[in-house]
């Protein structure tokens, strides 16, 4: 299954390791899609950016299994290896899952792949500065 939206806090090619290692994306979706997901029992949170669903894949599975990273593709379905910045327009391929524990049913979306339609470059603090040429400044004096 595929869902389109705006990506925030995407960890696709390398996992987010803040807590347990996980590949994840917060995906802002349309109100219509949000209602559809809620009807399926999927948690959708209303955030400032809009209705948001968290799609993730835990790295560590049962019995020591290690799950692979979701595929990251460009609009032409070519593999990419970059960080996806907040605000990127993407499509996410997922597989719904469901498990029952102690009489409670849990549902979620397994993060399988991401296709980047419009990439917003991921930037680290300081990345936006240009290199300043000292010689130019000296010659102007």
pLDDT digits (tens, 9 = 90+) for 52-67: 999 999 999 989 999 9
User: Is residue 120 a contact partner of residue 86, using CB atoms and an 8 Å limit?
Assistant: yes
Question: Structure tokens of 12?
Answer: 């696709």
- All structural domains of the chain with their residue ranges: 2-124
Nearest to 70 by CA among 26, 10, 20: 10
pLDDT tens, 14-54?
Answer: 999 999 999 999 999 999 999 999 999 999 999 999 999 99
Pick the CATH number of 2-124 from 2.60.120.1310, 3.90.1010.10, 2.40.50.140, 3.60.21.10: 2.40.50.140
Alpha helix locations (H) across 1-141? 31-39, 134-140
pLDDT tens, 96-105?
Answer: 999 999 999 8
- For residue 127, name the pLDDT band (cuts at 50, 70, 90): low
> Average pLDDT of the chain?
90
What does pTM read for this prediction?
0.83
């Amino acid at each position: 299954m595929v869902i389109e939206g705006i990506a925030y806090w995407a960890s696709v090619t390398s996992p987010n390791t803040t807590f347990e290692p996980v590949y994840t994306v917060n995906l802002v979706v349309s109100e219509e899609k949000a209602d559809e997901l809620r009807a399926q029992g999927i948690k959708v949170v209303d955030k400032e950016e809009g209705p948001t669903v968290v799609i993730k894949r835990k790295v560590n599975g049962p019995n020591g299994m290690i799950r692979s990273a979701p595929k990251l593709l460009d609009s032409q379905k070519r593999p990419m290896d970059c960080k996806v910045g907040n605000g990127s327009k993407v499509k996410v391929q997922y597989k719904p899952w469901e498990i029952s524990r102690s009489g409670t049913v849990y549902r979620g979306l397994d993060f399988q792949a991401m296709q980047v339609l419009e990439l917003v470059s991921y930037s680290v603090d300081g990345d936006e500065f240009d290199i300043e040429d000292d010689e130019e400044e000296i010659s102007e004096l």
